[in-house]
Each structure stands twice: as structure tokens, then as C-alpha cells.
Chains A and B, each alone.
Chain A
Amino acid sequence: MTALADPLAPAPAAPAAARPVNRARRRAQILHHIVLIFGVLLMCGPMVVTFMSSTWDPVVIHSEGLQLGYGGKFLETYETVLLKGGGFTGEITGTLMLWNSVLLGLGFAIGKIVISMLAAYAIVYFRFPFASLAFWVIFATLLLPLEVRILPSYEVVQRLGMLNSWSGLILPLIASATATFFFRQFFRSIPDELLEAARIDGAGPFRFFVDILAPLSKTMMAAIFIIMFVVGWNQYLWPALMTTDESMFTIVRGIRQILQVWIGANIPDYNQALALAILAMAPPALVVLVFQRMFIKGLVETEK
């Protein structure tokens, strides 16, 4: 230790002076770890309880409450939830709902990225009359979340005959301009000289977009995609209103159905409800975990 000590520090005084500081620091570190462990328990504890309880028999849960240990009925429960038909028609399975959720997440994310990139490209890189009008019209959508205009939106979609259709489900959700805004900010941060160099190199609007702008936006697109996939997957209110056809139910929408069945049941299928909750959270959670860095980047950048 002494060999490694700072040669500039006065040798005899150093250990005596350093010890209280080190001790205070160590104490602070321990305190921080305690806070964080408490936080991890707070955030992850409910998930653990949910998963563990889903592997128990509902009768046990009903009499003894939610469980922290493994109940051994993992395969049975999840097989039932995934493969056994349910709902009023008896045809809706967990697998189908998961698949529908994937479609909604992908459709929402891809649709939003494509549409908003094109619009942002027009707004930033073209000079044309009504450019600012177009910008403000799109901007206005930020002012009104779907939840506030839910009833008239429903009526419009109904009038267009788009109830129980994927376009009717996805398009109104895409109307908000968050991603357009983000791409606009991003495009503006790209140095002007790149466009100038590309023009001298003979690239027109199409070439510039395909050869330069899209490749440069790759990481941004990926980040937005992750966020939007999760947001799309997690949609609840709009799918709940829009889709009455059970074959279109997403897994998050399915939560509502569980509760309807639940009310009035003698011993509800707690395990199945909890398994469904796990299935509904697992895919987006995996996406967030696997692409953690990109996800954080996307979140922090888009919300800015």
C-alpha cells in the first residue's frame, strides 16, 4: 500500500488524514447501495410476485394469498393461457393475442417512422409555400392526446367504416406528431454542408434521402422504433373501443376481458390472469432490456 501511495503527499500525515475521509466515503457508498436495493425491490418485487404466483394453483392463491415461491405449475398454466381458446367465441388464445400485439406494435412503429420521416424531410429540406402552415397543422396534434378526443375519433372511424380493421386501429394512433418533431430536430442538426456536398455530387432529393439522410438516421430510427414499438404494444383505450371482434384483440386489450370474466367468479383463475399479465409485459420488457442503450437514447432524445 505504501508503495502505491501518492508520492507527493506528506508520508506520515497521509494515513491519519485519509482514514476519516475514506470511512465517510465508504459509509456514503453503503447508504447509496441500500437506497438502490430498496428501489430494486420496489420496482421488481411486484413482478417477481406476479410471476411466482402465476405458477400456483388458483385455489392455493385464493386461500393463502399471492406467493413468493415457485408453485410448479408453470407449464400447465402458460400452456392453457397460450393455447386454450377463451373469450365469448372461445376462439381467442394467448398466442393469437400476442401475435395481434406484435402486429399493432410493428404497424404503429413502422408506420409512424415512415410517415414522420417523410414529413420531416419535406419540412426541413424543401422550400415551398405553405411549409410553415403544414408544420403548424402537424404541430397542433401535440396539443390533443387521443384520450381527449376519443369519442369524436371513434365516430369518425365508424363513419369511415374502419371499425375492427387494422388501418382503423393504427392510423388514428399515428396522427400524433411526436416522431415528426423528433426527426425534424435531428435533420436540423445534420450539417448543411452535407446537402451542399451532395448537390455538388449530383444528388437530387430522392438520392439525398436514400443515400445520405436515411443511412445517417439509422441509429435514430432504431431508437425511435424501440420506443414506438413499446408504445404501440401498450395501447389500451383505443383498441378497447375499436376492436369488438375478438380475433383482433391484443394481449393488453385482453386484460379488460379477463376482468369482465373475473367479476362474479367464485374462485377466479388468478394464475391465468397473472400469466397473461406476464405475457403482456414480457415482449416489450425484453425489447427494452436487449436494446437498453438505444432505448434510453431514444427516450431522452425524443422527449427533449
Chain B
Amino acid sequence: MKKVQFGPSWTPYLLLAPQLIIVALFFLWPAGEALRSSFYLEDPFFGNATFVGFDNYVDSTSAADYGRSAQFTAVFTVSICVISLGIALALAVSADAVLRGKSPYKTALMWVYAIAPPVAGLIGVMMFDQHIGPLSDFARWLGWEMQVGVSYFDTAVAMITVAAWKQIPVNFIFFLSGLQGIPNSLREAAAIDCRSPARRFWTVVFPLLAPTSFFLLVINITYAFFETFGVIDVMLKGEPGNNPVTLVYKVFLDGFRGQDLGGSSAQSVILMIAVFALTIVQFRLIERRVHYS
């Protein structure tokens, strides 16, 4: 790592101790526990558990609502990525191109980052409220009677809108910093080689943004999976009923509401594997970024 390091002593262990203890207590132990209980059927009343092998996995994934939830998670994730990345890219390109007012625009567009997902959810609830929400009014004006919280489809649309909206600032910041990282000489060379600004963007600038885009894609998928919990929880007002939920929300529901410890754990483990795969992809990309720069 470093050419020269301090020699062996007890100091590094002391320095690592706080983090390792916390990791052991609040990460390794719970993760191990999740893995263990995913193979057991636990009786919530008597506390005794029987080993059931992969039954929990089979049972929970073959349930109809699991499939529905997985399907929604996929739609939810793809929609967030497309909407949020698309709008953020357009805004970043414009913010990078304007000559005046660059920084006020930048400030106005990024500060929403600071808003907590549940707060965004609350604002969403208001905006889409059947009686008072301006967005519902707008939909009604278009001839669409939105019933968020009642209609599966309408709720899904509202959740996607709010979740994608909340993620725009992050994508905007990264796209803009990626655009600003493109050397000016390269743009000038492109301007000499190619007349059309649009063509220049798609053939020179966008490929140079590819590492940023891939990276953001991973970030957005992670966001859609995990960080939208607050948005969903608030928009459903804690009452999922017949409404769409993501897989992560379902882990929470089955575990805390349904008291189905084994099933919830099995779903956790499946998600763990998904995150693991995603992280590997992410690290591959980071490595590549490092090699390029």
C-alpha cells in the first residue's frame, strides 16, 4: 500500500478496534442471524425454531405477492433511472452551457438533495391528494381521476414521480461535475471537427460521460431499492393494503407486521445477493475509472 509504514505494534489494533467492534456487533451478527433464521421456521409465541432448509426461500418467493412486488420493483427501478437520469442530464448539459447565471441555477437545482425521502413523500402525498393536490387537479383537467392510495396504478405513478424527483439533484451534481471534467481542448477539437452541436454532444461529450453514467446507474438502482423506503412508507401512510410495494419494503412488512421471521430473512438474503452482485459491478467500474484517469 504505502512504501513505508509504521512497523508492527499494538497501535493499529487499537485504532481499528472501535470500527471492528461496531461492525461485529451491528453488522456481522445481524447478517449472520438473518442467514441462520432464513433456514428456520420460528414460532413467534414459544420461541423454538425448526430447521426447514430452503422452505422459507421457496415459500416466500413462490407467493403471488412476491412476484407482484418483484415486478413492481423492476418497473419502479427502471422508471426512476430513466426519468431521473434523463432530466438530470438535460439540466446538467444546459447548466454547463449557459454563460450567465450558472451558479444560481446550480444552487436552485441541487439543494433538494438535503430533503429526507419521507419528507419528499409527505410533500408527494399533499401534491397528489385527491382533494387538495394540484397534481391531481392537473390530472383531472387531463381527464384522469387520480386516486393515490386506492388505485394500484395511480399510487405507483405517484411513488415513481416522487422518488425520481428526489433523486434528480444527485444525478445533476454528478453529471455536471462530469461535464466540467471534460477538458476544454477536447471540446474545441470537436468544434473544429464537427459542425452540429447535437452530433458533437452524442459523439464526443456523451461517450466521455459514460463512466459517470454507468456509475450513476448503479447509484440509482441502489437508491431505488433501499433509500426509497421513506418515500414509500409515507406515501402509503403505513397502510400498504393493495398498493404496490418494493421488495425491501416487503422484507420490512413481512418481518415486522407479518411476524414471518424466516420468510423475511430469506427475502433479506436474496436481496443481499442482489446487492453483492451490484457492488461487484460497481467496483469493476470504479477500477476502470481509476485506470482511465
Which residues of A line the B interface, CB within 8 A? Answer: 28-29, 31-33, 35-36, 39-40, 42-44, 46-47, 49-50, 53, 61-62, 64-66, 114-116, 118-119, 121-129, 131, 134, 137-138, 140-145, 147-153, 155-157, 160, 171-172, 174-177, 180, 188, 192, 195-196, 199, 204-205, 230, 233-234, 236-237, 240-241, 252, 255-256, 258-260, 262-263, 270, 273-274, 277, 280-281, 284-285, 287-289, 292, 296, 299-300, 303-304
Contact = CB atoms under 8 A, between A and B. Distances in A.
Contacts of B115: 234, 281, 284-285
B94 A35 contact: yes
Nearest to B2: A192
Contacts of B183: none
A236 B22 contact: no
Top 3 nearest A-B pairs (CB, nearest first) are: A234-B116, A152-B30, A126-B12
Contact of A115 (B18, B119, B230): B18
A289 B116 contact: no
Chain B facing A: main interface SS = helix
A180 B65 CA distance: 39
A127 B239 CA distance: 53
Interface in B264-293: 264-265, 268, 271-272, 275-276, 279, 286, 289
Nearest to B106: A292
B132 A39 contact: no
B4 A195 contact: yes
B134 A281 contact: no
Interface in B101-147: 101, 105, 107-119, 121-123, 125-127, 131-134, 137
B237 to A, nearest CB: 5
- Name A's interface SS: helix
Nearest to B169: A43
10 contacts: A44-B108, A126-B8, A137-B20, A148-B268, A204-B6, A234-B117, A252-B118, A255-B122, A299-B113, A299-B170
A29 B98 contact: yes
B19 interface: yes
A126 B111 CA distance: 40
Contacts of A289: 107, 111
Size category of the B interface is 35 or more
Given A149-B268, A150-B251, A285-B115, A195 B127 contact: no
Contacts of A180: 19
B41 interface: no
Contacts of B99: 29
Contact of A156 (B11, B25, B133): B25
B31 A196 contact: no
B169 to A, nearest CB: 7
A256 B2 contact: no
Given A144-B27, A156-B33, A285-B115, A151 B2 contact: no
Contacts of B133: 65-66
B118 A192 contact: no
Contact of A151 (B108, B109, B116, B256): B256
B108 A40 contact: yes
B97 to A, nearest CB: 5
B173 interface: yes
Interface string B73-85: 0000000000000
A44 B113 CA distance: 11
B28 interface: yes
